[in-house]
Structure 1
Amino acid sequence: GQSLLLAGAIISIALNPLVFAATGPLERWLGRDRGLASKFDRGTDPLAELPMSTEHSKLSGQVVLVGYGRVGRRIAASLAAQGIDYVVAEQNREIVDKLRQEGVAAVAGNAGEAAVLIQAHIARARMLVIATPDTFHVRSMVEVARALNPDIRIVVRTHSDEEAELLRREHAGKVFIGEEELANGMAEDILAEYRTRRAAGQ
């Protein structure tokens, strides 16, 4: 199944430029016949696909960021500050629409579905960052990413020690536990204060 998925994705990505180039002439040809045009009008979701105007240079070596909540927004801000290209995969359509208005590459949909990650050009990405709190589809995201891009680096967010251990055993990538990272950050701040006081002889 993974081999078929990989083959289909590679063919799809290879044909993308040809399909984009043929879209304009095809639409004009269909538009001449209203009856024929209505048969092909499926009402496709424009937010489920990256705009054709997206720069191809931003779709190679990029970060695919799944989830644009409180954690995802902070990660995106850090990436933008460093000039690192990224594509957001988010289920909330309003968020995706707003991101596009701001010039951010984003696709709407459940990243647990292969089509969403393919639209985010996961096959050419350097990293997959799963920042969504919903860990139900994490395994399917990891499986699709590994099948399409075996060398991709994956970073996963989770809130469960058990889930984190399972993901680590399955070589899902670097796993961060929310509460653990929060505790580590607070503890480091506390220890830094005490180190400063000791150095000052207080």
Structure 2
Amino acid sequence: MSTDARGAGGSAPRRAPAGAAVLREDKTEAIRAAVFAELAAVGYGRMSMEGIARRAGVGKAAVYRRWRSKLPLVLDLVPAVAAGGLPVPDTGTLRGDVRELLEVAARALSHPMAAQIVPDLLAEAARSPEMAEALRRALREAYGGIAEAVVRQAEARGELPPATDPEPALALLAGPLYWHVSVMRAPLPPPTLDHFARSITAALQA
């Protein structure tokens, strides 16, 4: 063998260990997208690792290398389903912040995929303590920080007293939205959002 084909010191070049799996990011993203699509199409109960692999266009082994079963797979994706990415509004008034947050959250809940997935996961949470805990944690992380930021901004402007508890704000924001959009499946036109914003602001200030 020539010296060009050898590594430093004349030894053969090192190879990656045989069988070492390289988790390609494009396949991981395809699997994640397939999970959302499967949840929306068939629900958690009927979803299978085989169906996910088929929809993602990958082999079953590619799914099992990343997640051992569908529960940890879905639990890993719950934060994204729960709401991630909602911005913290800063309109200059508490009512304006509440109104903007209601509109953005209502639009997210009304998305056709979210409208199928969120109620299904909440139903599954009633049967699975792991799912219930993951949803509680994800929803609190996604919405709790936003509600607290809105309350602290209102405190700084003198619209709320110091040390106002953000927990009621979270309940007042989430409750009407979920009931109206996810349970009643009713539209939320601007006048209804305005009414909700006035009522929630008045309740917080009371």
TM-score by length of 2: 0.28
Q: Larger % of strand: which?
A: 1
Q: Could you say which structure has the greater relative contact order, defined with CA pairs below 8 angstroms and 6 or more residues apart?
A: 2
Q: Larger % of helix: which?
A: 2
Larger radius of gyration: 2
TM-score by length of 1: 0.29
